[in-house]
Amino acid sequence: MAGLVTLMGLTGCVPFACSAIGWSNTLAVQLDGDTSAVDQVQLCTDAGCAPAEDVDMTGPLGFVSVEDQAGDSWTFSVGMMRLERFTVRTLAGDGTVLSDTEVTSEWVRVGGSEQCGGPGEATVTVQP
């Protein structure tokens, strides 16, 4: 045991435990332009689009949900995923696809730590 303490003191490496496990990242989608026909916004990857009735709830898109929708802004909880390149899909009330816009997001950590990670936020802007 004394050798372990000495080794830790010499290397400067102190073991620690990450306490904040299981956070959720937030993605805001800002619609810019005429949004009168937009009824729903989805986030799409190669695995599909979410939220949607046919999404695989056991896959990563199963964690995507709309947290808030106010005016032209849609806020999604995306679990611990940090979508970087994806498509924002806007839909009319009858399910017609109005637009598919490929975007790249830039995430900012808003909690946790560098060592353990933590919740992040990103905002993208698209035209419907």
Q: What is the DSSP string of 57-75?
A: TTSGGGG-EEEEEETTEEE
pTM of the model: 0.82
Cβ-proximal residues to 16 (8 Å cutoff; 6+ apart), any chain: 115
128 residues of the chain, pLDDT tens digit each = 554 444 444 445 556 677 656 789 999 999 999 999 999 999 999 999 999 999 999 998 999 999 999 999 999 999 989 999 999 999 999 999 999 999 999 999 999 888 888 899 999 999 99
How high is the pLDDT of residue 15?
A: 62
d(CA 87, CA 101): 5
Query: Tokens 């900012």 label which residue?
Result: 108
Q: What is the pLDDT of residue 11?
A: 45
